[in-house]
Structure formats: structure tokens, C-alpha cells
Structure 1
Amino acid sequence: MPTSAKQLLRDDDSLLRQVFFNVLRHHHPNTANKVDVIYALSQAWCKSKDDGDFELLEKYLGNLKPEECILVASSFSHMLNLHNLTEEVANTQTERAGRMGELTLPTRSTNMSFIKLTNQNGVPAQKIYETLCSQTVELVFTAHPTQAFRQSLLKKYARVRGYLDELHNKRMSPYEKIELLEAIRAQVQAAWRTDEIRRQKPTPQDEMRHGLSYFQQTIMDMVPTFYRRVDTALANIGLPRLPLNHRLFEFGSWMGGDRDGNPNVTAGTTRDVVVLARLEAVNAYFQAVETLMFDLSIWRCSPELKALARRLAARAVAADPGRVAEERKKRNYADFWTPIAANEPFRVVLSHMRDRLWQTREVLHQCLINPQLSVRQALLDTDSYLDVQELFEPLHLMYTSLLSTGDESTANHKLLDTLRQVQTFGLSLMKLDIRQESTRHAEVIDAITRHLELGSFLAWPEEQRTSWLLGELAGRRPLFPPGIELSPDEAEVVTTFRTLAELPTDSLHSYIISMTRTASDVLGVVLLMRECGMTELLKVAPLFETLDDLHNAPGTIQTLLGSEWYKGHISEHHDGVQECMIGYSDSGKDAGRMAAAWALFETQERIVAVAEQHGVRLILFHGRGGSVGRGGGPTHMAIRSQPPATIKGKLRVTIQGETIEQQFGEREVCFRTLDLYTSAVLEACLDPPSAALPEWRELMNQLSETSCKVYRSYVFQRPEFLEYFNLATPVGELGRLNIGSRPASRKQTSGIEGLRAIPWVFAWTQTRFHLPVWLGIGDALAEAVEQGKLPLLQAMYDEWPFFRGLLDLVEMVMAKADPKVTSMYDAKLVRPELQALGDELRAKFGATKAQVLAIVRQDELLEDPSNGASPELDEKIRLRAPYVAPLNVLQVQTLCNLREFDAAGSSGPRAGYQPSEAEIIELLSRDPHRDGKHPFQAAMDDCLMITIKGVAAGMQNTG
């Protein structure tokens, strides 16, 4: 980061901290003084790293009253989130300066990719155009619960971010500057006075509405803006605009469709979220059409448009102009109530479209109210939009008409933007994926085979299952016998398929089968779709998650594509495309980060090769999480480090949890996200990394095997590890956060095997240890170095994007870790006889750090400014540290208090506690679960939730 940018970051951090302190002093002067002291103590320790300074911080925080703990924790949490806004603004300012030519940035924009590919790589401009016109990035929003902050706070923070950016980006008078600072103060104060704790779990419908808000605020507007920039960049190298029928991006969703281990997602839920998304799309197009009606008052037009306008105008006259005008008046249109004369052809066509959009919206409202209605049939039975081409074609006709009459500037203004939106988002806005665990389908089929007295499907060997399924798929007999008895879980699976049959096909994308192990898992879903009345069958995508499943994936794909029936099926229904999903989160939890990363790399290569052998195109769906422990990391690095020839212009990837806010929460950030994905996929096709050398692969196999062995020897084979994990981290308390609609575990289990990857990673993040990212890697690297392979490891780091990306991410996460903080958790929370395990793990952390530094040839972490994570990350970590440390200390103290209170019950030493400040009493009274809860327990619960949210914000990725 340039010096000026670093100074901007520090100045903004100081400004927002001062604004917050002023708000805090206004409401709680005594607390503000204590927060000031705590911040100074924390700064002193972060600079000195002296044990004495840390003990002073612990002691001061330990003397706070319970009610003060809440306010102090909330103060540091708010300051940390305000600081994170300054990072986002600094990123935006740096990107903007780069686009204006004031800074030289890494090649991470589409325009710079064009320049690099043509000037440095000698790629013909026409080849770039053809590649761009065939590539598509599909971004799939999930409800994975890692966004800890309420939407109410996110919106207020977003306004502060916007005001702060405006402060740097706009010339203003002293009065305007004062007014802008007052606006910042107003939002900071409103955020401070908002209850930051989510008091009840969101429903899947709530999660979907939250996801839709990003389309309202940024995505719908920024997509056509980004297309304009791409068109301009293409013009700069002598190329035409992107074709109007091509989309660089598609959007998908798992919100309300992901039922894997989430009992709250039912068939009715899936139906609701489909209708909600279509309503959002129709509302956006309705506003766009009304705007165009004001703009396109032009009378000159092409003969084709004139003919269409005359037909529509005659239809309005035949329908009685007075009745039409009265109906439009009731609808409270902005204007143009009466039928429009044929001499304004654009307005005639747009008026007809507006009426149909209104009708479509009304039908969707009725579907939302009446769950018995078939959504698809209700739209078919009325004059509603069901096929997006009905919306796109008249807009395209108007566009070509304007071009034919020489009105290019008008055509390429708002009408072009609307066409881009319709082409990108369709009538579904974002297509819903359905995800279910593989055994749930097998149980339904087992119920059928047992009812038909064919035996138990679950008891059959895989070869028999596959043979029987293919036989049924090739035949035509109905499979569901009347009167079959199904368990509630089995009935829900069947109801879901039947509900999908009644939804518009363009609202659905793929059916994902989690924990896929065999070909019969896929064939069973295809059979159930057909038997439940789905006339247009969805793509069925196996999801390979564990290490064993990844290793077995090529064999599974080979069995599927080796079937003539199945190859014919995907050729007929899916244009010869097979989708396959690979899971980063569960594979990392199962085998550790290094072994999982290598297994994912090799699996991609192998299944793509299998598909090529059968003449099938395979699209990989990357199930990446937000954190490094779940496959997250900087977008450009992640894409560029994929195996060569596995992307081929098509990328499908999940956007999870807090990553949605980080990538789409603000207009400039949204633009940058679109830019990064486009440029990275383009370069992956036209400038792919070199194939890995045989000696690199051989060493990676060794590293993977060793790291996995060490990782599992601790996580799954040390009998004391589970207890240590439960005591040393707040994993048992994470469920109180109410940050998602689904449980922390897929099934009722006390072991790590059944725990979801999110709480597994999230819990270690809280303690600043990040164990899932690095455990096992140090041992693997040390073994290779002892064998004299350090030069080879260094060459792999220098020349192989995959290996460099892996180590850079480990380095980034280790820079955020703090063994001193981790040892505090152990000392206060872990039984003495288990603390040796913590000491052992911290020693492994230190050894891993030393091995990584030796390979990247640095004395300190993040010392090299070319680190792939973020050149300025070291500065960001330093600025965050004084806010995070007090939250860690408070979290440990709160966990101690809660666990002691739970153990002692109402007879414990805190039984006589009563909150002493009216503000805290009022805050605690907002908890709907407070009945029967002791005031001390309620205060500690709130304090714990606030520290968890705060630490999560302090550890978020900034790459």
C-alpha cells in the first residue's frame, strides 16, 4: 500500500474512533474513560508484546462489573467494525486511483488483463473477444451462518462507509464537511443505540430477504455499469460491444433450497423463496419500464416496432379505453394512465409491458398468500411473464429500432442497461439450487423397493443398486405405488420433488447431493425427479466433500458417464454438460488444509479428464467458504491457482456468509468483485499456469500424506482432543449467536465428525489459533526439509501458483494468530491435566511458522509486499490488534463466569447480583429468553455474544 494510502487508513481509523468516543462519552462518560484506558493498555501490549503489559490489561478488565463488561465489549466491537469500514474505503480509494492512472496496481482488472494479454502475451484481440463472449461466472449466494451482524447494523455501517468515501472523493465547502461529519456521527450513534444481538434465529425466508437486499442496493445497478466498462475496454483494443444475448455473470442461491441437515427448510420454504426472488425481479423491471416510458417519447421507429405498437394500441382500444384508464388509475401508476396513441410506439409497447409486469406481480402475491396454487400454472393461466424472452424481445426490438434510426446514444443509455439486467437476471433474479444429503434419497427408494417386495435397496451392493436404477430409468412404469407408507422425513423428500414440479423451471438450477459416494446417489435423484412429476429435470450435481469421497470421485463419474442411458439423458436435457461440486469446508475439516487442497487439485484434474474421455463437458462448482480454513481467500489468487484447463471459461462458486457483505455490500466493492472474477477467469483461459512438474507432484503427494496423518492424529485419534477443543474454545456457546437457520451439526453427535465445518473453524478463529488452517503442515514441510528438499520447496513456491497460493494463505492466517492469546484461553478454561496438549499444539504452531518463513525466505510473516493475500495486510492487522485483544480477554473472563455459574447454579457466588445501571437493565429486558434466567447469566450471555461477533470481525479476511 502506498504511503499516502497507509496514512489515509490511519487517519480514517483515528477519525471514526474519535467520533465513536464522543458518542460514548455523551451517553456513558464513566465507561468512556475506562474504554480509553483499556485501549491505551491494549495498544501498549500490542506494541511491546511484553507479558507484564498483557497482565495489566487482564487485571484492569477483570475488575469491571458485569454491566460494564457489556458496554466495554460493545464499545470495542463497534470500534473494530468502524475500523473495518476504513479498510474498505482505503481499498476503494486505492482501486479508484489505479483506474485513474495515479497508481500502478497488480493485474486484477479486466482492462489490465486486456493490456497484459495483448502486449505481453501476444494474444490476438479477436481471441480475447471470442473467449470473453463464451465465459460465464456463476455466483451462488448461500445462507451459511458466518455473518454475525444484524442487518440493521450492516445498513448503518454501510452509510458510514459511504459518507467516509464521500469525504475523500468530493470537493466540499467547510459547511458541507461539517454536515457530512454530523451525518457520520448520526449513524454511529444510531448503531451504538441499536441492540447488536440477534435475539432469535432467522428463518430461511429471512435469510433470502437479506440476500435479496444486495440486489436492491448494489448488484442490479452495478452489473450494467460493469458491462459498460468492459465495452469501453473492448473499444480501446478495437473490438465491438459484448453481444446483448451473452451474460458474463449469472446469480444463484441456496437460501431456502439447502435442506442438508436443516429441518427448517421444507418444500413450502423452497416455494416461498422462489416467489420472493421473482417478485424482486418483477419489481425492478417494473421501475425500469416506467423510467423508460418517460425517456422514450420518440416517434421515429423501425417498421417492425411500428407494426407491434399498432397491434397493441388496437388491442387497448378494443378493450375500452375508459376501462383501461380506470384500471391503471387504481394501480397508481406514476403516469400514462390512458391508452397511448400509436404515434408514440415506444410508449405503447412499454405501456403494455408495464401492465403485464403488474399482472405478474399480482399473481406472485397471490401465490405467496395461497400455498395451494401451482406457481407455474398460475402464471400460465394469466397474462403474466413466465418466459424471459417475452420480456427481452420487445426491449431488444426497441433497441434495434433506435440503432436503425440513428439514435445510438439513446439506445445505449438506460435501454441498454435494462437489456443487460434482463439478460443477466432473467425473471428468477437468482436461480435456486436444491441440496439434500444422499442417504435421504436412498431411504425413499428403499421404502419403495420394500413396499414392492423387491428387497431393501439400502442393503443391496452398489452394482445392484446402479443396475436396478438404470433399468427403472430406461422403462416407463410408474414407480410410486398407491398407499405406500413413508416416514415424515421420506415424505418431505417426495413433497419437495413434487413442489419443484410446480415451480417455474427458470427459477431452479441444480440439485446438489451432499455426501455423494456412488453413482447410484445421482441416478436415484434423477429417478425420483421423474417419478414425482418433473417434466423438465434439473441438473444433478454430486458433491464430493471428504478426502475419501474426493479420491473416489473419478470412479463415480466414470460409472455415470460410462452408462449409455445417463450420457443420453444429459445430452438430451442438459446439452451434454455434467456439473460436479467439490467441497472445501468439509474436506479441510476431514484432512487438514494442505491434504484437502491437494486432493481438490488432483480431483479436479481427474474428473475433467474422465469427462473429456466421454465427450462430456464438466463444469466444476466450487463450494468455497469465506475463511481460509473453509477454502476462502483472495478471489484472483484462488482462480489463478486452479489446475490448468479445469475452468475453461465456466466458473461456478459459492459466496458464503460475511463474504456476501465484503464483496457486494457497497457499489465500488461490488464493481471490483465483478472485475476480479472476469479478469481472473479470462486469464485462466488465455494465460493458464504451467502444468505441475512431476517432482512437484511427487513432493506434494508426500506433503499431503504426512500433513493429513499428523492432522488426524490430533483431531480424531487423540482421546483428549475433543474435550480440550470443547473447553478451550466457545464452540459449545456458538449456537446462542442465532446467526443462521440451521443447527451446528448435521446429526445429533458429540464428536467432531458430525460437527459442521463452520463452527469448527469459527471456534478456533475466536481463540486466535486458527488450528484447522496450519495443523500438520509444519510437520510435512519439516520432513521434506530434512530430506534436503528445501530448494525444491522454494522453487515450487516461486513457480507454481497452486503451492504459492497455499503457503501465502497459511502465512496470512498465521499473521493473524496470537499464541499468547491462545495460551490465556487454556490457562483460564482448560483443566490443568489437558493444558499440556495446548502447549504441544502451540509448539507446533511455532515450528510451522519457522518452516513457512524458510520457504518464502522471510524473517517475519507478511514481510514481503508481494504476498498474494494483500500487500497492506500487515498494516491492517496492526491497526486491528488493539481492538481485538480486549475482546479476547473479556471473552475468556465471560466464559469462565458462565461456566462457573452453570456449574454452581442459583447457589453460586453470583446469585445475589443485580445490574446497577438502568441502561443495562433495559438492555437485558430485550432478551425474549430472559424468563427464568438469572440477571448475571443474562449479562454474561450478552457480553459473550458481543465478544464473539467482535473477534469474528477482527479476524475477517481482507484479501
Structure 2
Amino acid sequence: MAQTTDPGPDASLEPIGAVHRTQVGREATEPMREDIRLLGAILGETVREQNGDDVFDLVERARVESFRVRRSEIDRSDLAELFDGIDAREAIPVIRAFTHFALLANVAEDIHRERRRAVHEAAGEPPPNSTLAATYDKLDSAGLDSQTVVAALRGALVSPVITAHPTETRRRTVFDTQHRITELMRMRLHGQHATEDGRDIERELRRHILTLWQTALIRLSRLKISDEIETGLRYYPAAFFDVIPAVNAAVREGFQRRWPDRDLLADPVLRPGSWIGGDRDGNPNVTGEVVRLATGSAAFLAFDHYFGELTALEQELSMSVRLVRPSEALLALADTCEEPARADEPYRRALRVVHARLTATAREILDRQPEHELDLGLQPYPTPAEALDDLDIVDASLRGHGSAVLADDRLSRLREAVRVFGFHLCGLDMRQNSDVHEEVVAELLAWAGVHLDYATLSEPERVELLAAELATRRPLIGPGALGAPPADGGLSELARKELDIVTAAARAVRVFGPQAVPNYIISMCQSVSDMLEAALLLKEAGLLDASSEQPYAPVGIVPLFETIDDLQRGASILEAALDLPLYRAMVAARGDSQEVMLGYSDSNKDGGYLAANWALYRAELDLVESANKTGIRLRLFHGRGGTVGRGGGPSYDAILAQPPGAVQGSLRLTEQGEVIAAKYAEPRIAHRNLETLLAATLEATLLDVEGLGDQAGPAYQVLDDLAARAQRAYAELVHETPGFVDYFKASTPVSEIGALNIGSRPTSRKPTTSISDLRAIPWVLAWSQCRVMLPGWYGTGTAFEQYIAEEEGRLEVLQDLYRRWPFFATVLSNMAQVLAKSDLGLAARYAELVEDAELRQRVFDKIVDEHERTIRMHELITGHDDLLADNPALARSVFNRFPYLEPLNHLQVELLRRYRTGDDDELVQRGILLTMSGLATALRNSG
């Protein structure tokens, strides 16, 4: 790794896998390769110094041989032989070396994107798509009137929701060190040779890479939810505190400048959320105490940020009344703080009042206290709005005596932060499976004597019973239910646990405000009763009162439609719920707003890539129609994973590919795993990605982006046909091929994902071996580790081939749809990305782990045939013989990084073989876990 160049003049011509392309912009990308060479060389020298020549030589030989594999100079089996029988102690540093290289390559790629953007800006080129500047140009050209904009953006919300993921296991030290390396590389980008304090940049890089090398990448113990909570919150001090308030202020200013007669986007449009600590679907480790920890830790972080900013502001705003004339309101606020030493410094005294009142608030509501407390014996703020009012007084006073430049700096950022983060920081969603709700509600109804066997009731009988209960204020349970063991008439452990959780959620709403727990999501929602069962649990905790003329409903009930069948029935379920006067009143209490979540993961696992994507599109069309019919405002929550098989792919394209009316100024989407770090670990990158979400949401709301016009109907019929064919081909392999589950378990590391301390939750919702019960993350993660990437493409090639062959002219139909329809183009583009990252040569090595030779050949041959067919059909429809023709950034990434993945895959296969034959060496298990982490880091969207 000392020389991380392409080891030969023709190395760039044939990347591994299915990517076939000519040399892409070599001159433009040379600075990135130079960065990779520098970082790789430092890493190589570090490996040699720390682990000796033998380890370094093995790493270097593996690197060189990997490039020879890419150039077809040697067979892949020759490289695999390098690791046959390797001692686990020798394997670990090799795995770590290639994992660290992947991490450092990520840094180089991120810096290169900044470099290219700066080049384009310096050349005076128009702002690129997915920037707010480009969006503003499009809106200006559209000539929109203010009434249209106001109506479209009422209640606007863009919310990335951070969720836990088993491959995002990096330690905070690793996270922080990577961030520091990024800063150093950015200094080099701008021509600096030394840091601000005079340190040599290259020496600093060596110091930080040494720190990385000597720091364990992963924990030895199983990840706890408390670890996942800490991991999710780290993005706030790393980026969100700087970026989110700034982006909210910028987009508000941009709209108010264009439509000054309207108070557009007065509330923050960009508001983050979280699932970590509230998502208990299949995770028995979530408890009421965990909910309290999650909400309390988030609130603590918000107050810690405020205290730090106020302390800095007290130092900065030193103006004296002898030199400026503050407002009377500012002087009145300052007079609450009687400090003779600051008698002529009203701004400092006013800020100390705010600081002291927030300290009193923190002591009243937090379980632990931040640093920089200030106790002046003042009263706490009842709500964040009162704190913001006082900060607004400071702002107005500064502007009143010509100090707007001061008001627009740290104070402005703090005011924006209080607006968006409040006392809660981020909204924690609750989520549970409908089967659990049914079981718990049945128990509560039986305990109260309302109905002894709820499970036997028909759906209409359930709805009638639940609606009647929701219409009363009488609780179902009393102290005896919780105070006695089940044998003495008390509730079961499951029921107690669920009630503890919603009770903890109610406390968070009461203490931190209604935004602390904004939603209750029902997984596998398949009926109106599923929605009402969740409502009944909220009622028991005091989070719902539908018995009065003005219902109290601070927490929204969100059905999650996941399987293809459920997606197809989602609109009818929603309409049936809204037909109930009681539920309609609950929605009215929430501003006539109803959120619906769409499950990308389980629909894909259920029916395959194309069928799932089309089922989601159709579901959105149906839900939009239902919303228009019933007069509600629909907000869709997209349950996207990082990988294409779970709804991933470029966010801008994905949002613009939504059907007409599906965005309406509001968008929530999940962000998971290593994708979170790739998007939000650093302020500049976070700003770019959050701006992208906003730009796409605004364009999808205010402009016609579908592009089909009156040809929408025929286009939809074509996709109906294709989706049915694709689902049939997918089902034939996954659901109907005898032994497929055995093949999957043997040829991927799915079993080890559950066995080797990865993530805080089990890999299956239930203790079964069924594909349907397997959680979507391990399903997709396992296929990505073995480089098949099956969830992102399988079945699509057969669908296209059959459709085209049946009638002349059909290829031209698909080619036309590809040119005109963003949805169809995005489906093909995302599929191509997956195919480019797949490598069936490596997958064949994993297939060798299947002991049944007949089963191995039968399943793997089907996969190979469909893979070739899908690539062929993609080229036929798009006209591109390069899978990544429309994504040069990923093309560069695949070219520069993929040979370094090769050793990780071979070592994973070798260690899996040993582990499964009974080798219980702890280093073997650790090596498997390290390869999983390394591959996930390198692929950047693996689960």
C-alpha cells in the first residue's frame, strides 16, 4: 500500500465486475488519485512501522495481485490462494489495512467533490441540479404566484430520520480522527502546508493515521442501544448544529425575498428525527428506560449546545451603554440580572438571564446537567418559545443601533437553533409491529372485562369495539394490573413493557414538548383495527383523548404499509379509517394532516426490485387520490435504506421521481448506517446533502417534474405489466426454488450477522428461518457482502426481455419512457449502480461455501443468467454500454476503490469456512466482523 497507484498503464481500462467503460476524465481526477496515493502511502508506511515487514509485504502483495486480477493477468483463484490457511493473527492486520484504506479513500473522494464544485463555480458555470441556487432559478422561470406557493408550502417539512444500523459500528475516536484527516486534506486542497498553529500538514496526517491504526475499529461486546443512541447523536455536534439552522435561515430568506408579501417558511422546514431508542419492532431491548434515555440524551445535547453558545455570546457582546443605546426591552431584560461589575454591559447581563433561565429549565427537566450552568435563582422557561422571545429582544436591540452584523452571526445561529431544536433536539418516533399491538390490546380488553377473546372478532367487530373504547375517557387498566404478577391477575411482561414504553413517551411529550415524540408508527399495518389498536395504547398513556369536541392528539398515528399487497391496499385502509368520525376528528386535531409510511425494504424482499418500486409508486398515486377525496393533507414517510435494494440511491433523483402530488412540501425519509456518516459526518458534506433534500422537495412540490402529461395512463399500464413479470421471476427464485433458503444461509454471512455482536437487535423478527421473517437489513447486507446485490436487480432483466419479445415496437416504448419519465430513468439508473458494484466472480467464491453441489449450481446458475440478462436489457433500453454513464462520480469510485475490496472478500470467505467448520478462535470471529465492517465502509451503501 506504499504505492497506491494503478500498477500498470492499462489498469484503468477494465474495472472488475460488470463495469465496462473507457478512461474517465483522467486529467480531472488526477488530483484525487494523488490524494489517494498520499494517504495510501502514509498508511502503508504506518503498517510497516507498526507490524513489520512481513505484514506489510503481504498487504502489498495482495494489493498488487488485486490489480492484476482486474487486468485479467491472473485468475482470481491465484489471489485466493494467498490467504489459504492464513493464520488469524496474520489476517487481522491485513483486513484492517484494507478497511482503513477504504475509509481514507472515502475522505479523498469527498475532498475531490469539493474540488470539482469549486472548479465549476470558478468557471462561472450555472449552479448544478440539486442545489438551492439551481432550484431558485427554476422557480423564478416558472413565474409562480405567491398564493400558489403559500398553499403548496403550508406545513412544509423536510425531515431526515436517523436510524440504527448494524454496520455503522465505528468508535467515536475513529469518527473524530477521520473528521480531522478530512480537515487536513481540505487545507492541502487550498494550498496550505501548515495548520493555523504552524504544524506541518503531512506530519499531522501521519499522526492521525497512526492513531487510526492503533485504535480498534469495532467494539468487542455486542452493540447496546445506548451505544446506538450515542452514535446517532454524534452528528449534531459534528455537523447538524452548524448546518441545519443555517440552511433553514437561508431557504426562508430565499423565499421571502421572492415573495415578500407572504411570511413563507416562518417555521423551520428542515427538522431532524430519530428512531434510535423508539423503534422496538423486533427489538426486545427497547424499554421505557431506553425511551427515557433516548429523549433525555437528545434534550441534554440541545441544552449543552445552548449553554456553550450563550457562554461565547456573553464574551462577544461586550457593548457598553456609554457607547450604544440598547432598546428599553433589552434594558428591562438585563435588569433581571443584578451584577454591578457589568452594570454598563446590558447585553452580557441579558444573555446571562437567558442562560440562567435555561439552566433552571435544564435542572427541572433533564436527568443530567450540561457544563456551563449558570444559577441566578431565576424561573425556568415554560417552553422554547419564551426563550426565543428573549433572544429576539437581544436581536432587535442590536439591529436598532446599527449592529446587524453582530446580530447576524452567532446570535442568529442560536436563535435558529432554538427554533428547530427546542428543548427536545429531534423527534423520536415510536414504532411497533401490529401483531404485538393486537396481543397487548387483547390482554388489556380481557383484563378490563370489555371482551375476553378479542382475537376471535372479525375486522368490523374489532373496529366497532375499539372506536367505542376510544370515545370514552375511562382507562382499561388500574393499579392492580401493574402491581401484581400475571399469576395473581396482573398483566404479562409484554403488556407491562409496551405500557411502560408509551408512558415514557408521554413523559417526554409532557417534559420536552409535543415535538419530542411526534409519531407512532405501526409496522405491518394491514387494517383499520391495526391503527386503532395503536391509538388505544396511546390513550392508556394519556397521549390521546378523542372523547371531547376538541380531541387531544399530540402524537400522529402513522400506518406503515410494507408488503406489496399492503401497499396496494394502503389507500383503502386509510379511507376506511377516515370514514370513522372519531378517527377523522383525531386527524382534524392535527391540522388535517395524516402521515403514511411506505416500506421499501420489506416490499423489495417480498416481490423484488422492480415490483416493489412500482408498488410504491402506485401506492403513492392512490394515497394522493384518497387525500384529495377526503380533504386531508398527506405527508409521506419513505422508509429508505442506504442500498438500492432498500430504496437507496441519489436522494435528489429519488424525490423528483415521486408521482405528482406525493411530496406537497413535506418529506420524511430514513437515513441508515454508513450512509449517515457519508452524508452527515462533516459540515460541508452535510450542508450539501441537506440542501439536496430541500431542493428536490421544493421542485417536486412547486414544479411539474413527472413529464408524462396525458401519456401517464399508458405508461402506468406498461409498468403494471413489467412489475408483474419481474415479481413472477423473483418469486420463482426466492420463494419457490427448493433449497433457496439453505443456499442463501450458506453462501452469505447472514447467520454470522446475528451471531457476531452486530447491532442491538436480532436479525429476524421471529425465531424462524423464513425469508419473510428475516429483517430487511441483514437480507440486503448479506447479499452485498458476497457481492451478488440480488435485491437491487433480480427479476428485472426477465421482465424486460419477455415484454420486448412479445410485440414489435415495445423496445422503442421503453426507450421513450427512459428519456421522458424521471421515475423510470431513476429505476434503471439505481439498478445500474447496483450491477456495477456486483461481482459474480467473487460471488462464486461465496457459492463454494454451499456444500450441496447440485443446489449450489442450480441457484447460482439462475443468478448468473439473470445478471447477464439484466445488464443486456439495461444497455438495450438506455443505449449505454457503460452501466455508470450517468454517474461519473460513482464510476471514479468503482475504478479507484474496488480492487482494494478484493482481499476483504477473499479473507471473509476463508474465515467463514473456518468458523463454520468449528474453529472457535476469537480472532477468526473478529476477522469476520472486521471484513463486514470494511466492506460496508468501502461500498458506502451496503445495508
Q: TM-score, normalised by structure 1?
A: 0.88
Residue 609 of structure 1: CA displacement? 1.4
State the partner residue of 1:115.
137
Residue 383 of structure 1: CA displacement? 3.1
The structure 2 residue matched to 1:940, chosen from 905, 919, 924, is 924
Question: How many residues of Structure 1 are paired with residues of Structure 2 in the alignment?
Answer: 886
Deviations 1:450-500 (A, max 9, x none): 230623111101101111111222233333256343210011111222222
Task: Indicate whether 1:664 and 2:713 are aligned.
Answer: no
Task: Indicate whether 1:561 and 2:578 are aligned.
Answer: yes
State the partner residue of 1:634.
650
State the partner residue of 1:346.
347
The 5-angstrom pairing of residues 756-835 of structure 1 reads 756-787=775-806, 788=808, 789-835=810-856
Q: Which moved more, 1:474-483 or 1:22-31?
A: 474-483
Task: Indicate whether 1:897 and 2:893 are aligned.
Answer: no
The 5-angstrom pairing of residues 191-230 of structure 1 reads 191-227=212-248, 229-230=250-251
The structure 1 residue matched to 2:61, chosen from 14, 34, 37, is 37
Matches of 2:562 and 2:351 in 1, distance apart? 49
Task: Indicate whether 1:953 and 2:937 are aligned.
Answer: yes
- Structure 1 residues 340 and 178, CA gap change in structure 2 (3 angstroms): closer
Task: Indicate whether 1:454 and 2:451 are aligned.
Answer: yes
Matches of 1:564 and 1:222 in 2, distance apart? 42
- Structure 1 residues 596 and 16, CA gap change in structure 2 (3 angstroms): same
Deviations 1:781-819 (A, max 9, x none): 111110231111111111110111001000111011111
Matches of 1:233 and 1:539 in 2, distance apart? 31
Matches of 2:474 and 2:178 in 1, distance apart? 59
Query: What SS does the corresponding residue of 1:901 show, helix, strand or coil?
Result: coil
State the partner residue of 2:493.
488
Matches of 1:127 and 1:546 in 2, distance apart? 36
Letter paired with 1:166: M
Contact 1:591–1:711, Cα closer than 8 Å, also in 2: yes
- Structure 1 residues 755 and 268, CA gap change in structure 2 (3 angstroms): same
State the partner residue of 1:523.
532
Contact 2:326–2:401, Cα closer than 8 Å, also in 1: no
- Structure 1 residues 515 and 487, CA gap change in structure 2 (3 angstroms): same
- Structure 1 residues 958 and 714, CA gap change in structure 2 (3 angstroms): closer
Contact 1:440–1:490, Cα closer than 8 Å, also in 2: no
- Structure 1 residues 357 and 731, CA gap change in structure 2 (3 angstroms): same
Task: Indicate whether 1:644 and 2:660 are aligned.
Answer: yes
State the partner residue of 1:850.
872
The structure 2 residue matched to 1:279, chosen from 300, 319, 326, is 300
Contact 2:523–2:559, Cα closer than 8 Å, also in 1: yes
State the partner residue of 1:182.
203
Q: TM-score, normalised by structure 2?
A: 0.89
Matches of 1:458 and 1:299 in 2, distance apart? 72
The structure 2 residue matched to 1:23, chosen from 46, 59, 63, is 46
Matches of 1:752 and 1:195 in 2, distance apart? 34
- Structure 1 residues 163 and 732, CA gap change in structure 2 (3 angstroms): same
Query: What SS does the corresponding residue of 2:480 show, helix, strand or coil?
Result: coil
Task: Indicate whether 1:879 and 2:896 are aligned.
Answer: yes
- Structure 1 residues 236 and 773, CA gap change in structure 2 (3 angstroms): same
Matches of 1:791 and 1:311 in 2, distance apart? 71
- Structure 1 residues 102 and 29, CA gap change in structure 2 (3 angstroms): farther
Query: What SS does the corresponding residue of 1:259 show, helix, strand or coil?
Result: coil
Contact 2:246–2:416, Cα closer than 8 Å, also in 1: no
The structure 1 residue matched to 2:180, chosen from 145, 155, 159, is 159
Residue 736 of structure 1: CA displacement? 4.2
Task: Indicate whether 1:501 and 2:506 are aligned.
Answer: yes
Matches of 1:174 and 1:512 in 2, distance apart? 48
Residue 656 of structure 1: CA displacement? 1.2
Letter paired with 2:725: T
- Structure 1 residues 382 and 629, CA gap change in structure 2 (3 angstroms): farther
Task: Indicate whether 1:56 and 2:78 are aligned.
Answer: yes
The structure 1 residue matched to 2:89, chosen from 67, 70, 84, is 67
State the partner residue of 2:100.
78
State the partner residue of 1:401.
397
The 5-angstrom pairing of residues 496-645 of structure 1 reads 496-503=501-508, 504=511, 505-506=513-514, 507-534=516-543, 536-537=552-553, 538-572=555-589, 574-645=590-661
Deviations 1:810-835 (A, max 9, x none): 01110111111111221344421212
Matches of 1:677 and 1:311 in 2, distance apart? 39
Letter paired with 1:855: I
Deviations 1:674-726 (A, max 9, x none): 21011111111222323462221111011111111111121122121011111
Q: Which moved more, 1:945-954 or 1:798-807?
A: 945-954
Percent identity of paired positions between Structure 1 and Structure 2: 31
Residue 761 of structure 1: CA displacement? 0.4
Matches of 2:86 and 2:768 in 1, distance apart? 37
Deviations 1:886-913 (A, max 9, x none): 11111111111222235xxxxxxxxxxx
Residue 945 of structure 1: CA displacement? 1.6
State the partner residue of 1:471.
468
Query: What SS does the corresponding residue of 1:410 show, helix, strand or coil?
Result: helix
Query: What SS does the corresponding residue of 1:64 show, helix, strand or coil?
Result: coil
Task: Indicate whether 1:255 and 2:276 are aligned.
Answer: yes
Letter paired with 1:355: A
Query: What SS does the corresponding residue of 1:644 show, helix, strand or coil?
Result: coil
Matches of 2:500 and 2:256 in 1, distance apart? 52
Matches of 1:464 and 1:241 in 2, distance apart? 49
Task: Indicate whether 1:443 and 2:439 are aligned.
Answer: yes
Residue 146 of structure 1: CA displacement? 3.3
Contact 1:231–1:240, Cα closer than 8 Å, also in 2: no
Residue 149 of structure 1: CA displacement? 3.0
State the partner residue of 2:4.
none
The structure 2 residue matched to 1:734, chosen from 729, 747, 753, is 753
Matches of 1:718 and 1:181 in 2, distance apart? 56
Residue 130 of structure 1: CA displacement? 8.3
Matches of 2:99 and 2:337 in 1, distance apart? 60
Q: Which moved more, 1:381-390 or 1:511-520?
A: 381-390
Deviations 1:632-680 (A, max 9, x none): 1111011110111110111111111112111111111011012101111
- Two-structure CA RMSD over aligned residues (Å): 2.8
Matches of 1:339 and 1:357 in 2, distance apart? 22
Matches of 1:413 and 1:895 in 2, distance apart? 55
Contact 1:724–1:830, Cα closer than 8 Å, also in 2: no
- Structure 1 residues 736 and 96, CA gap change in structure 2 (3 angstroms): farther
Residue 173 of structure 1: CA displacement? 6.6
Q: Which moved more, 1:162-171 or 1:355-364?
A: 355-364
- Structure 1 residues 174 and 712, CA gap change in structure 2 (3 angstroms): closer
Residue 293 of structure 1: CA displacement? 2.0
Query: What SS does the corresponding residue of 1:222 show, helix, strand or coil?
Result: helix
Matches of 1:304 and 1:174 in 2, distance apart? 40
Q: Which moved more, 1:636-645 or 1:194-203?
A: 194-203
The 5-angstrom pairing of residues 739-750 of structure 1 reads 739-750=758-769
Matches of 1:847 and 1:101 in 2, distance apart? 42
- Structure 1 residues 220 and 736, CA gap change in structure 2 (3 angstroms): same
Matches of 2:862 and 2:236 in 1, distance apart? 48
- Structure 1 residues 7 and 830, CA gap change in structure 2 (3 angstroms): farther
Residue 365 of structure 1: CA displacement? 4.8
The structure 2 residue matched to 1:709, chosen from 728, 735, 744, is 728
State the partner residue of 1:358.
359
